[in-house]
Chain A
Amino acid sequence: MTSPAAPLVRFKNVEKNFGALQVLKGITLDVAPGQVVALIGRSGSGKSTALRCVNGLEMINGGELEVCGRKLHAGKVDLLELRKDVGIVFQSYNLFPHLTVEENITLAPRKVRRIGKAEARDIAAEVLEEVGLSEKAQAYPEQLSGGQQQRVAIARSLAMRPKLILFDEVTSALDPELTGEVLKVIERLAREGMTMMLVTHEMAFARSVANTVVFMHQGRVWETGPGAMLANPVTDELRQFVGSGL
């Protein structure tokens, strides 16, 4: 059993290769319950790959990775069970275009958790309220703005009652004026104590909302610390990265 204080995610020297290319070169990183960890770094530094390993979309090739008490390096983990605990939201929303907002949200609770129709709709109403889109339950994704679609994607994840949510550059496809509404939702989840790992290019946001910022560089955790570290980088690489205004 994991004690309450044990980390939800524990990377220990995690390595990941795509063929001959080593993308993660020994990542060590813990995420405690209730924590928000922001992954930052240049394009290609392995941020998305690290995130995708957490919910088993990618399998690691070396080291140890424990997520919600499951040892992903030990083989034979039930990935579907893992994904009931770990939600993920992508840059491209990936809503189901043939389903209404409400159906998008209730599909997994109904089919996976076998929750009844009425209860599933209650959950949908609750999570839509959380992301501020109660009035859009019967809309189709194509009728929504990008920011609204992304909030629905977050609501869809929340409806599974995950212990941990992963966010991969969820605002990168959005116009600046729509970015704010999505970030507000994430901030709210942070205040409510949701455990989150997020890859982001929004430095100000990372700084304000994350308990820990992880700067990845060339497949390694180059520098890590509280948000304030962005104001006082130790390594040249982070200084350059922050200075480049990304």
Chain B
Amino acid sequence: MLGLTIEQIAYLFRGAGWTIVLSLLGFVGGTLLGLPVALGRASKSRLLRFASGVLVQLVQGIPLPVIMFVVYFGISIAGFDVPALVAAGVAMTLYSGAYLGEIWKGCILAVPRTQWEAGECLALTKTQRFIFVILPQALRIAVPPTVGFLVQIVKNTSYSVVINFFDLTYSAKVINNATYKPFTVFTIAALIYFAICFPMSLLASRFDRRLHRS
């Protein structure tokens, strides 16, 4: 088929499987990191704003492949021998955490200040105001850009090829080296990436429209 063996195509799909695994790691880790980052960035405390700001600026100012290298070799130098998956997972967590943190900060700040005030005037504590009044409204606003960012996560896992993590891009490279059919191989890889990303883009724009209607 297409001049590739079934084994070679299966190999590509195994790579795609690891792309999905790394994307999930990046999203889950990014959520765990992004939440406190968002809270810090939206906080009134200058110290918290500064600390979370430093992380965001650092990550946004360094290309993702370089973050991958730094994490991968950093961990090795520290004397730990970790699989590329762990290094790529940590790098994706840093990357997604910083960007999701910025996105979610915007969502928290997008809830009108008068909503905080209304909660305050009803004698709700600060935490209660955040949990019962602000957060549900911020979450609603956050859905479209978050789903949209998932697409970025999936696409950017391909940078893990620089530390030889076995994902879709890496497996395509391997198969190309064996078959010398770059156009066929990378077109298949492109279609698989697209098949993963397109439904999410579609979902994001649908959420976006629904939000703007209401």
Instruction: Give the shortest distance, in Å, between B139 (CB) and chain A (any CB).
Output: 9
Q: How far is the CA of A57 from the CA of B120 in the complex (A)?
A: 9
Q: Are B114 and A94 in contact, with the CB atoms below 8 A?
A: yes
Which candidate, B3-11, B40-48, B129-137, is the interface stretch facing chain A?
Answer: B129-137
B178 in contact (CB, < 8 A): no
The B interface, classified by DSSP as helix, strand, loop or mixed, is helix
Q: A98-B137, A107-B132 given as contacts; is B115 within 8 A of A112 (CB)? A: no
C-alpha spacing A57/B113, complex, angstroms: 13
B118 touches A83 (CB 8 A): no
**A111 adjacent to B115 (CB under 8 Å):** no
Is A90 on the interface with B (CB-CB < 8 A)?
yes
Least Cβ distance of B115 to chain A in Å?
A: 7
Q: Report how many residues on chain B are interfacial, defined by Cβ distance under 8 Å.
A: 17
Measured between beta carbons, the chain B residues less than 8 angstroms from A125 are none
> Complex formed: what's the CA distance from A87 to B123 in Å?
9
Q: A57-B121, A94-B115, A156-B122 are in contact. Are A111 and B128 (CB under 8 A)?
A: yes
Q: Is A96 located at the chain interface by the 8 A CB criterion? A: yes
**Cβ contacts under 8 Å, B117 to chain A:** 57, 94
Measured CB to CB, the nearest residue on chain B to A94 is B118
User: A94 vs B115: C-alpha distance in the bound complex, in angstroms?
Assistant: 6
Return B212 CB to nearest CB of chain A, in Å. Answer: 14
Those of B39-72 within 8 Å (CB) of chain A: none
A77 vs B121: C-alpha distance in the bound complex, in angstroms? Answer: 15
B206 at the binding interface (Cβ < 8 Å): no
Known: A57-B117, A57-B121, A112-B123. 17 other contacts (CB 8 A): A55-B121, A80-B125, A83-B120, A83-B122, A87-B121, A88-B121, A90-B114, A94-B115, A96-B115, A97-B137, A98-B136, A98-B137, A111-B128, A112-B122, A112-B124, A112-B128, A160-B122
